Amino acid sequence: MTTAQRLFALALMAHTLALPAMAAPYIPADGSKVVERLPARTDPAQRDLARMRAALNKNPSDLALATTLARRYMEMARGDGDPRYLGYAQAALAPWWKLPQPPADVLVLRATLRQSTHQFGAALADLDAVLRRDAENPQAWLIRATVQSITGDFAAARASCMRLHSRAPALVVQTCLSSVGSVNGAARTSYAELQQALERHPDADQGVRIWVITLLAEMAARLGKNAAAEDYFRQALALDDADSYLLAAYADFLLDHQRAPEAAGLLKDKTRADALLLRYALALKATGSPEAARHTGVLRSRFEAAMLRTDTVHQREQARFELGLRNDPAAAVRLAKLNWAVQKEPADLRILAEAAAASGDAEATRLVRDWLRASNIEDRTIQAALGKLKGAA
């Protein structure tokens, strides 16, 4: 792997962990099952994937090809927000998936796929197995840090970031540390340090730059630096205007600043992922569009189907759906609490606070207050909800 490829892989893995909520991936029983006809004739990327799939079908034990194809599928999932690509990635790794001791590359990929369905404990177990064999593996340390941060174990996340020193590029190390610090009492310092690190590395790989600039945009928004956030979002979109995570984050920023028509325009043709359809429906509702009801109905069907599959990956987005589109605070706070038990990112805290304020739920209010004290998070985007929580600091 070249330096550029490794940089991109590092950024991809960290960013994949932050994918917007999607349905759990469908995993075909075997590689020959046709799930959907993709536009292979017109899309060079799809033609390349088809070529690789055909080669792997002929030699399914080709580890190098299988892991390369799995990474490509994960890249597609990150960009498109389509969970089926995650299922295809797992299918590519099928010969090694259930082995007691899979190859390290498979373990890293399996950990990333497991976290996508909130199997955080299993993901960490895979990463620990990798690091027992190879303590120098930067991807494993980076993914480990990100999972630990998502689940609120900030001390462990920071320690994992520190293990990247001398194992990963300086910009990757600083991004890891700033990501943790930004939600654990050091938001302004983390923001400034990441800005300086980006300035010192103007020639960083594009994948890394998108990751860093998107993080800076989110940090700026939480700090109330709205002009800077806008600028960073636009910089990131100039590098990749199809990244589903970036689109969701920017749409939230637009909605927060009463720019619903812009949010609707941004997402109009990008509603395959549930997270983007949710934001599109919220934008339409805010503009008074009669189309909001139709898209709300589509979302309701998707969430109901997910519940029938016992898929709980959607709970944060479903809580927001219940609160913002169905005006059901009781359902919203129930889902927000279930989600909070699993993951603790700023967006998870925000919907928990908003649902607690709307429903008056005492337990949710206590959870929010406790986290504010324990994490020292600085987040202007939840101030309105916090102001409605009696006694919240």
- Does the pLDDT at position 142 exceed 60? yes
pLDDT recorded at residue 77: 85
| pLDDT value, residue 84 | 86
CA atoms within a 13 Å half-sphere pointing along the CA-CB vector of 194: 29
**Does residue 269 register a pLDDT over 60?**
yes
Give pLDDT, residue 42.
67
End-to-end CA distance of the chain: 49
Banded model confidence at residue 136, pLDDT cuts 50, 70, 90? very high
Residue 259 identity (one-letter amino acid): R
Round to whole Å and give the CA distance between 156 and 60: 37
**Tokens (6 digits) for 199:** 């300035």
Q: Is the pLDDT of residue 4 over 60?
A: no
Question: Among 18-27, 89-98, 141-150, 218-227, where is mean pLDDT lowest?
Answer: 18-27
Residues 116-130 have pLDDT tens digits of 889 999 999 999 999
DSSP 101: S
DSSP labels, 266-283? HHTT--SSHHHHHHHHHH
3-state secondary structure of 117: coil
pLDDT for position 53: 94
Contact 217, 211 (CB under 8 A): no
Residues in the chain: 393
Residues 6+ apart with CB under 8 A from 109: 67, 70, 71, 74, 89, 93
Whether the Cβ atoms of residue 344 and residue 353 lie closer than 8 Å to each other: no
Q: Which own/partner pairs from 33-39 qualify as long-range (CB within 8 Å, at least 24 positions apart)?
A: 35/84, 36/84
Instruction: Output the pLDDT for position 30.
Output: 52
| pLDDT recorded at residue 26 | 47
Contact predicate 361/385, CB 8 Å: no
pLDDT digits (tens, 9 = 90+) for 29-53: 555 444 444 444 567 888 999 999 9
Give yes or no for residue 113 having a pLDDT over 70. yes
pLDDT at 78: 79
239-253: average pLDDT:
95
Q: How far apart are alpha carbons 12 and 8 in whole angstroms?
A: 6
> Does the pLDDT at position 160 exceed 60?
yes
Q: Which residues contact 210 (CB under 8 A, 6 or more apart)?
A: 11, 15, 236, 239, 240, 243, 246
Mean pLDDT, rounded, for 66-94: 90
| pLDDT of res. 116 | 87
Q: CB 225: neighbour CB atoms within 10 A?
A: 18
Q: Which long-range contacts (CB under 8 A, 24 or more apart) does 133-137 make?
A: 133/104, 134/104, 135/163, 136/167, 137/104, 137/108, 137/167
Token look-up 């189907």 returns 305
Residue 328, SS3 per DSSP: coil
Residues in Cβ contact with 131 at an 8 Å cutoff, skipping those fewer than 6 apart: 137, 140, 141, 144
Which pair of tokens denotes residue 219? 């940090």
**pLDDT exceeds 60 at position 28:** no
Structure confidence by residue, pLDDT tens digits, 55-68? 999 999 999 999 99
**pTM of the model as a whole:** 0.89
Fold annotation for 169-257: 1.25.40
Q: Which of 245, 300, 289, 240 is nearest to 264 (CA)?
A: 289
CB 196 within 8 A of CB 216: no
Confidence class of residue 12 from pLDDT cuts 50, 70 and 90? low
Q: Decide: 172 and 153 in contact? Cβ < 8 Å.
A: no
- One-letter identity of residue 344: K
Q: Is the pLDDT of residue 98 over 60?
A: yes
Residues of the chain with CATH 1.25.40.10: 169-257
Question: What three-state secondary structure class fits 22?
Answer: coil
- Residue 221 phi/psi, 5-degree rounding, is -65, -40
What average pLDDT score do residues 173-189 get?
A: 97
Q: Extract long-range pairs of 149-153: CB within 8 Å, 24+ residues apart.
A: 149/179, 149/180, 149/183, 149/345, 150/17, 150/115, 150/120, 150/343, 150/344, 150/345, 151/120, 151/342, 151/343, 151/344, 152/344, 152/371, 152/375
**Structure tokens of 110?**
């399996």
Per-residue pLDDT tens over the stretch 308-349: 887 778 899 999 999 999 999 999 999 999 999 999 999 999
pLDDT above 50: residue 393: no
